[in-house]
């Protein structure tokens, strides 16, 4: 085989052998997008579908992800600091060691999410659904949990729940948790 032939075989082998995929941070938001280590700070990503996306080590500081679908994402060590994530779906998301400091997750769904060692310092998790979420080592210091559904799927956190879930007492309700109309 000629030297050129050997080079071609090596290049083709590398392309089809499942080698590392490089992130293209300018790719349009779509399910399965590969935004590893990308900076999307301040972006308007309302309502986007990023199901199954690779967002590991990516930054979304001050981004608006309201009503977005981030189910089943790989988001280890991602930064969502001061992001707006109202009603965002994060079901089954891997957010191990992610930073959601001061994020607004009002009404977000985190069903079955892995939040191990994630940071929610000062985050607003009012009316969020944490059913089945893994919280080992999770920092909830100063996080608002009013009306949140706790990991057991049954306990609703009382209005004064900050930093930890205080079960709502029988006969009490949280006005924000009740549907309007």
The number of CA neighbours under 13 Å toward the Cβ of 28 is 1
Which pLDDT score, from 0 to 100, does residue 146 have?
Answer: 98
Ramachandran bin of 52, using left for φ above 0, alpha for ψ from -120 to 50, beta for the remaining angles = left
Which pLDDT score, from 0 to 100, does residue 22 have?
Answer: 57
Residue among 132, 134, 118 at smallest CA distance from 85: 118
Residue spans of the domains in the chain: they are 30-169
Which pLDDT score, from 0 to 100, does residue 8 have?
Answer: 45
What SS3 state is found at 94?
strand
Which pLDDT score, from 0 to 100, does residue 14 have?
Answer: 46
What pLDDT digit, counting tens, does each position of 18-70 carry? 444 456 899 999 999 999 999 999 999 999 999 999 999 999 999 999 999 99
Which tokens is 87 given? Answer: 């009603």
**Could you give the dihedral angle defined by the CA atoms of residues 21, 28, 104 and 177, in that order, rounded to the nearest 10 degrees?**
-110
Which pLDDT score, from 0 to 100, does residue 179 have?
Answer: 41
Which pLDDT score, from 0 to 100, does residue 13 have?
Answer: 44
Confidence (pTM): 0.81
**Which positions ≥6 away from 170 have C-beta within 8 Å?**
none
Residue 3 class from Cβ within 10 Å (0-12 exposed, 13-18 middle, 19+ buried)?
exposed
Low-confidence ranges of the chain (pLDDT < 70): 1-23, 170-181
**Which positions ≥6 away from 60 have C-beta within 8 Å?**
40, 41, 43, 45, 78, 79, 80, 83
Q: Give the class (CATH, top level) of 30-169.
A: mainly beta
Distance CA 85, CA 43 (A): 12
């Amino acid at each position: 085989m000629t030297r050129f032939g050997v080079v071609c075989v090596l290049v083709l082998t590398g392309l089809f052998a499942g080698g590392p995929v490089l992130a293209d941070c300018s790719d349009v938001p779509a399910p399965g997008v590969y935004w590893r280590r990308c900076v999307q700070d301040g972006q308007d990503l309302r309502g986007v579908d990023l199901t199954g996306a690779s967002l590991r080590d990516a930054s979304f500081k001050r981004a608006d992800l309201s009503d977005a679908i981030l189910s089943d994402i790989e988001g280890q060590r991602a930064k969502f600091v001061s992001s707006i994530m109202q009603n965002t779906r994060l079901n089954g998301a891997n957010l191990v060691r992610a930073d959601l400091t001061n994020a607004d997750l009002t009404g977000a769904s985190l069903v079955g999410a892995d939040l191990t060692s994630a940071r929610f310092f000062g985050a607003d998790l009012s009316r969020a659904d944490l059913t089945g979420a893994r919280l080992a080592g999770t920092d909830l210091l100063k996080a608002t949990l009013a009306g949140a559904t706790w990991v057991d799927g049954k306990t609703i956190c009382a209005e004064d729940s900050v930093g930890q879930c205080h079960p709502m007492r029988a006969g009490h309700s949280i006005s924000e948790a009740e549907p309007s109309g």
